[in-house]
Structure formats: C-alpha cells, structure tokens
C-alpha cells in the first residue's frame, strides 16, 4: 500500500468506532463500573483499582522506550517513543498520591508495601512488553491510541466517583492531570501514525493491539472487583491493610 493512498481519517474513524463499541460493552458489563454508577463504591474498592493502576502505569514508560530500541523503527518513530516514554516516567506516583490523599497511611513513606499485581494486571503488563519487543513495532500505537483518548468514556464515571466518595480534584490527580496531558498526546499519536504507517499490516497491527489491550484492561477491571469481594468477606488478606478505609 502506498502511504499516499492510505485514508488515515477513515482509519481513525474505524478505530474510534471499534473503541467505542468495546468501551460501551465495558461500561455496561463491568461490575466495578456498575458500583460507581450505582453509588455503591467505597474507598477500599477504589483503592484496589488504583493499586493495579499504579502497577501497570509504572511499566508504560519502560515498555514504550523498548520499542524505540528496535532496528525496525524509523527515526521519527524512535524519537516519538523516547519522548513519550520520558513524559510518562513517574506518572504512577500520581496513583500513590491519590491513595494517600484518601487516608491510606504509609503509602508515601513506603511503610505499607503494596501487594503483588493481580494476574490480569500482569497479563496486561506482559502483553505490552511482548508487543513492544516482537512483531510490528508500530503496533504499540494501538494501546497509545485508546489510552490517550479514553476520557470521553471515563469522565462521566470519574464524575460519579468524585461525587460518591466526596473527592476533590487534588485527590484525583491521576485522572485530572492525565486528561489535560493526554489531549495533546492523542494528537501526537495520530500524527506519528500518519507519518510512519506505510502498509496494511501497519494499520492492522495497530487495530489489533488496540482491541487486545482494551480487552485485557476489561479483564483487569473484573479482577479488581473479584479481589474486592474476597477482601470484604475475608477470603483474601492481599489487601488487608485497606481495612482502615472500610466503615
């Protein structure tokens, strides 16, 4: 496929349609999202979610920079990977800040040791490393595409979460700050797709990775709720330190 013949606007529309379909399914079926929508979420459930967010976010800069080390990367894409990876470094600290702001003592001074990530979280992390190191180097852009543009779907959920738990923006820095940062990042992602995609395989690889990583994220959300249920009935001590948030 000649790059001049690629209908990028049409491709982006296809991605947005597919991402919308997957998000609609997630928002309708996720018990975690339903707990937010129904106003039954508590700080312990939100904390378990933020712990998993911390875990996978702490790897995003690392796996993205690995893409840029591959011999198949063009100079513009290598530069993109390095720049965006550098801008993602430390974002997981916002998740820790938000946990601490809700009263979880010991997070900032590390006297509380966070539990090992859930298997589903590890699966998402591992898949991102896999697509960063193997296959078409451009495929990781599928993850970046939806991760940098998800706020039209999740902002209403965050708004409900804020209301139910009585949180301020200063306690939701991971989402509030990312919403502003990622607006510009999303345009960067689309621009690098336009500059680097040359073949149908490039487009297919991006689309596949977008669907796959969104699907793995949905499974992580489901696992978070199951872990919360086990915590609440005493079947799991994994997050026993969150008992201070219940009641």
Instruction: For residue 239, give the CATH number of its domain.
Output: 1.20.910.10
pLDDT of res. 167: 92
Neighbours of 163 (CB within 10 A): 11
Locate tokens 């937010």: which residue? 36
Does residue 180 register a pLDDT over 80?
no
Mean pLDDT of 162-181: 85
User: What is the gyration radius of the CA atoms in the chain, in angstroms?
Assistant: 19
In this prediction, residues 135-145 reach a mean pLDDT of 97
Convert the pLDDT of each residue in 183-234 to its tens digit. 678 999 999 999 999 999 999 999 999 999 999 999 999 999 999 999 999 9
Domain encompassing residue 219: 3-245
pLDDT band at 2, cuts 50/70/90?
A: very low
pLDDT band at 1 (very low <50, low <70, confident <90, very high): very low
Distance of CA 241 to the CA centre of its chain: 24
H/E run at residue 144: helix 141-147
Concatenate the DSSP letters of all residues of 45-75 into one string: HHHHHHHHHHHHHHHHHHHHHHHHTSTT--H
What total of structural domains would you count in the chain? Answer: 1
Q: What is the pLDDT of residue 24?
A: 96
Residue found under tokens 């296809």: 14
Q: Give pLDDT, residue 239.
A: 86
Closest CA to 144 of 192, 75, 73: 192
| 135-154 mean pLDDT | 94
| Mean local confidence (pLDDT), 61-75 | 95
Which of 15, 73, 86 has the alpha carbon at shortest distance from 195?
73
More confident residue, 244 or 36: 36
Query: Which is higher by pLDDT, 142 or 177?
Result: 142
Q: Is 43 in contact with 239 (CB distance < 8 Å)?
A: no
For position 105, what pLDDT does the model report?
A: 66
**pLDDT at residue 127, as a whole number:** 98
pLDDT beyond 80 at 247: no
What does pLDDT average to over the chain? 91
- What's the helix, strand, coil split of the chain in %, to 5? 75, 0, 25
Buried b / exposed e over 54-67, threshold 16 CB at 10 Å, is: bbbbbbbbebbbbb
At residue 119, the pLDDT reads 98
Residues 6 or more apart whose Cβ sits within 8 Å of residue 145: 15, 19, 186, 189, 190, 193, 206, 210
Average pLDDT (91-107) is 84
Q: What angle do CA 102, 114, 86 make, to 5 degrees?
A: 85
pLDDT tens digits, one per residue of 24-65: 999 999 999 999 999 999 999 999 999 999 999 999 999 999
Distance CA 180, CA 196 (A): 25
pTM: 0.93
- Cα–Cα distance measured from residue 33 to residue 58, given in angstroms and rounded to the nearest whole number: 23
């Amino acid at each position: 496929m000649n790059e001049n013949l690629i209908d990028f606007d049409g491709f982006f529309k296809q991605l947005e349609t597919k991402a919308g379909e997957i998000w609609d399914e997630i928002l309708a079926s996720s018990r975690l999202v339903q707990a937010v929508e129904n106003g039954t979420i508590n700080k312990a459930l939100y904390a378990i979610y933020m712990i998993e967010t911390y875990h996978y976010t702490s790897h995003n800069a690392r796996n993205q920079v690995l893409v840029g080390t591959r011999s198949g990367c063009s100079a513009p894409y290598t530069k993109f990977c390095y720049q965006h990876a550098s801008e993602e470094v430390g974002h997981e600290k916002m998740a820790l800040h938000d946990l601490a702001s809700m009263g979880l003592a010991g997070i900032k001074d590390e006297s509380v040791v966070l539990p090992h990530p859930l298997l589903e979280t590890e699966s998402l992390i591992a898949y991102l490393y896999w697509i960063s190191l193997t296959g078409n180097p451009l495929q990781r852009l599928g993850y970046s595409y939806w991760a940098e543009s998800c706020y039209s779907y999740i902002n209403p959920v965050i708004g409900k979460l804020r209301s139910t738990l009585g949180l301020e923006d200063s306690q939701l820095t991971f989402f509030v700050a990312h919403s502003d940062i990622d607006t510009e990042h999303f345009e960067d992602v689309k621009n690098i797709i336009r500059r680097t995609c040359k073949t149908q395989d490039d487009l297919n690889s991006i689309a596949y990775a977008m669907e796959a990583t969104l699907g793995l994220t949905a499974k992580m959300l489901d696992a978070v709720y199951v872990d919360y249920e086990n915590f609440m009935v005493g079947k799991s001590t994994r997050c026993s330190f969150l008992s201070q948030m219940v009641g």
